[in-house]
């Protein structure tokens, strides 16, 4: 079955949604990461759909084809959680629970959601999504200063433009294991037409600015501790390491862990079949 696209309003913004699989199959929600998009899960979703799941991915606010925020706004993690709160009843049949999967930034956002809404879930899976590294409180003034500078710069700078081929090449430089066909596909889906006839990234340039907030692992750990459903944590052998993964994993009530050999942070690009198998096994718990 071909993927289906639609737009769904949530929290004041129009969100782009892509679905794979039979409409009445068990629902898997797929939350992408930073500067990524829903189509990034294409190869994983297709495999899960073949195994009897209905996969639903969406572009977070300011990503892909979802709307950007208005003038004077910014992107905070609590906004993503509220977006998902309002998307959920439109993506999951009434009275049913879902399997929720989040990659990287998406993993952090769905962790916060799951901490408050475990009763709506069958399972949770975090793909290198245990949050960013801990940051000392003493960094708070420095972070605010950097944020002010970077937001002003982002708002005054014209977006860079390029050809589709250049976009795909840039993605492959950052992710050498990215398949050429998938890279070309994501370059097309992740860019928009620019006034000069070339392409520009679809995501809001404000996403490139650093957060004004200090990330506190002790706070994030409390979200993990509140999750009551079975939770799979997936890491790439060549992916990111936080230094305190064991403590965060240990905060989960019902955790399991899988490391995929020879892949990096973008495991859903590099090893979709292995990842789909791990997820399907987890959903069967």
Return the axis-axis angle of helices 272-283 and 42-50, rounded to nearest 10°. Answer: 50
pLDDT of residue 60: 99
| Angle, CA 263 vertex, CA 262 and CA 267 arms, to 5° | 155
pTM of this prediction? 0.97
Neighbouring C-beta atoms of residue 41, cutoff 10 Å: 28
CA within 13 Å, CB half, 82: 8
pLDDT of residue 285: 86
| Angle, CA 150 vertex, CA 149 and CA 156 arms, to 5° | 95
pLDDT of residue 159: 87
Element (H, E) at 20: strand 13-20
Which of 3.90.1150.10, 1.20.1090.10, 3.20.20.80, 3.40.50.1820 is the CATH number of 4-136+216-283? Answer: 3.40.50.1820
- pLDDT below 50 — which residues of the chain? none
CA separation for the pair 162, 88 (Å, rounded): 36
Say if CB 194 and CB 159 are below 8 A apart.
yes
pLDDT of residue 212: 97
53's torsion region: left (phi>0), alpha (psi -120 to 50) or beta? beta
List Cα–Cα distances, 126 to 29, 113, 198, 228, 274, in angstroms. Answer: 12, 12, 36, 14, 15
At residue 142, φ and ψ (nearest 5 deg) are -65, -40
DSSP state, residue 208:
G
Helices (H) and strands (E) in the chain, counts: 10, 10
pLDDT of residue 1: 73
pLDDT of residue 172: 94
| Domain range summary for the chain, segments of one domain joined by + | 4-136+216-283
At residue 216, φ and ψ (nearest 5 deg) are -110, 115
The three-class DSSP label of residue 57 is strand
pLDDT of residue 179: 92
């Amino acid at each position: 079955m071909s993927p289906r696209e639609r737009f769904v309003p949530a929290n004041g913004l129009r969100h782009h949604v892509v679905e794979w699989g039979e409409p009445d199959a068990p629902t898997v929600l797929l939350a992408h990461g930073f500067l990524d998009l829903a189509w990034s899960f294409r190869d994983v979703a297709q495999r899960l759909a073949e195994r009897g799941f209905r996969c639903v991915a969406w572009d977070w606010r300011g990503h892909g084809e979802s709307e950007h925020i208005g003038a004077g706004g910014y992107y905070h993690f609590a906004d993503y959680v509220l977006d998902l709160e309002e998307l959920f009843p439109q993506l999951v049949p009434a009275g049913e629970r879902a399997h929720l999967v989040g990659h990287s930034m998406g993993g952090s956002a769905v962790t916060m959601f799951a901490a408050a809404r475990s009763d709506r879930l069958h399972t949770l899976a975090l793909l290198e999504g245990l949050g960013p590294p801990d940051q000392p409180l003493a960094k708070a003034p420095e972070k605010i200063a950097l944020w002010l500078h970077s937001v002003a710069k982002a708002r005054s700078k014209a977006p860079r433009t390029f050809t589709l081929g250049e976009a795909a090449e840039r993605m492959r430089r950052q992710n050498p294991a990215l398949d050429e066909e998938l890279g070309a596909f994501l370059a097309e889906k992740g860019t928009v037409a620019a006034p000069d006839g070339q392409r520009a990234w679809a995501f809001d340039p404000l996403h490139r600015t650093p957060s004004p907030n200090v990330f506190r692992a002790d706070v994030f750990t409390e979200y993990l501790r509140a999750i009551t459903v079975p939770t799979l944590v997936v890491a790439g052998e060549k992916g990111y390491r936080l230094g305190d993964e064991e403590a965060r994993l240990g905060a989960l009530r019902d955790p399991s862990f899988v490391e995929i050999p020879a892949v990096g942070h973008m495991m859903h690009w590099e090893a979709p079949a292995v990842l789909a198998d791990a997820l399907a096994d987890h959903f069967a718990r």
